[in-house]
């Protein structure tokens, strides 16, 4: 029994090492995917530019596929690994459905989600900065993806500027209604962006509350420390006064120390 457990523990350690080594590069590639994804669909771009965007797009997905295979080969329990990393499987599988218009926007979403998860691990406890960065990235990502999804749909979003305005009003839950997606892919992005906006607002509120609670706790600790110091000083002063009145008290205290 000990040998299989030892081997499984060793595989788990190797898997964590691989994931730790690839975390930052995969984070960079996840967000580098978005420009390539948009360029490959730009209506005004030349065929060569769109082809270059598509090549970069598939190259990034290929790197994700290779990284997934490496981690899968290291993992002891293959099926459990695939279930735990289902998002990576979706990232690799969705580009195969490129011809389907509905999945134009959906193909970019798993990579965005993977990037945000990795970003949270990399930034550690910088919750406020993380919330701000996720908000900015979500606005830009939503605008980029929706501008692609709404191309030629005849809706009110027909440029990146319109998509950016819509993305800002959606994630802040303002929702003026003057600009909205009409395609299924665009509405899918809209739904996710609303959820992200609500979640970010909750995180921001929690961060502000935690800051004030921590600040008040530190103030109370400072007051307690000052009060304790004041009492110690008063005790020392009283002891010094007693010793000045009775010189033998100092001698007896020194004898006890010996």
Q: Is the pLDDT score of 125 beyond 80?
A: no
Q: Is the pLDDT score of 218 beyond 50?
A: yes
* CA-to-CA separations, 165 to 86, 169, 181, 188, in angstroms, rounded: 32, 6, 12, 17
Domain boundaries, the chain: 1-121
pLDDT digits (tens, 9 = 90+) for 141-156: 888 888 877 877 788 8
Q: For 18-30, what is the mean pLDDT?
A: 80
Angle, nearest 10°, between helix axes 103-123 and 47-74?
50
pLDDT digits (tens, 9 = 90+) for 151-210: 777 888 888 888 888 988 888 877 677 788 888 878 888 888 888 888 888 877 777 777
- CA 77 to chain centroid: 27
Which one is the CATH code of 1-121: 1.20.120, 3.40.50, 2.120.10, 1.10.3470?
Answer: 1.20.120
> pTM score, two decimals?
0.56
Of the candidates 46, 43, 87, the one whose C-alpha atom is nearest the C-alpha of residue 64 is 87
pLDDT reported for residue 101: 47
pLDDT digits (tens, 9 = 90+) for 79-94: 888 888 887 887 777 7
């Amino acid at each position: 029994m000990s040998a299989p457990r030892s081997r499984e523990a060793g595989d788990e350690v190797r898997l964590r090492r691989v994931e730790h080594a690839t975390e930052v590069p995969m984070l960079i590639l996840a967000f580098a995917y978005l420009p390539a994804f948009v360029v490959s669909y730009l209506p005004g771009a030349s065929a060569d530019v769109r082809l270059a965007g598509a090549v970069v797009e598939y190259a990034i997905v290929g790197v994700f596929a290779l990284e997934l295979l490496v981690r899968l080969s290291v993992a002891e329990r293959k099926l459990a690994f695939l279930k735990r990393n289902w998002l990576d499987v979706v990232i690799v599988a969705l580009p195969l459905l490129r011809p389907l218009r509905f999945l134009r926007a959906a193909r970019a979403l798993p990579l965005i989600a993977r990037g945000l998860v990795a970003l949270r691990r990399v930034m550690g406890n910088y919750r406020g900065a993380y919330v701000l960065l996720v908000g900015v990235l979500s606005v830009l990502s939503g605008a980029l993806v929706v501008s692609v999804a709404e191309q030629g749909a005849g809706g009110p979003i027909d440029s990146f500027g319109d998509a950016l305005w819509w993305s800002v009003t959606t994630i802040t839950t303002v929702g003026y209604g003057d600009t909205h997606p009409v395609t299924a892919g665009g509405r899918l992005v809209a739904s996710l962006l609303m959820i992200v906006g609500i979640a970010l607002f909750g995180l921001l509120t929690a961060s502000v509350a935690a800051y004030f609670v921590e600040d008040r706790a530190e103030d109370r600790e400072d007051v307690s420390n000052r009060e304790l110091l004041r009492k110690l000083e008063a005790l020392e002063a009283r002891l010094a006064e007693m010793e000045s009145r009775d010189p033998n008290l100092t001698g007896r205290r020194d004898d006890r120390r010996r």
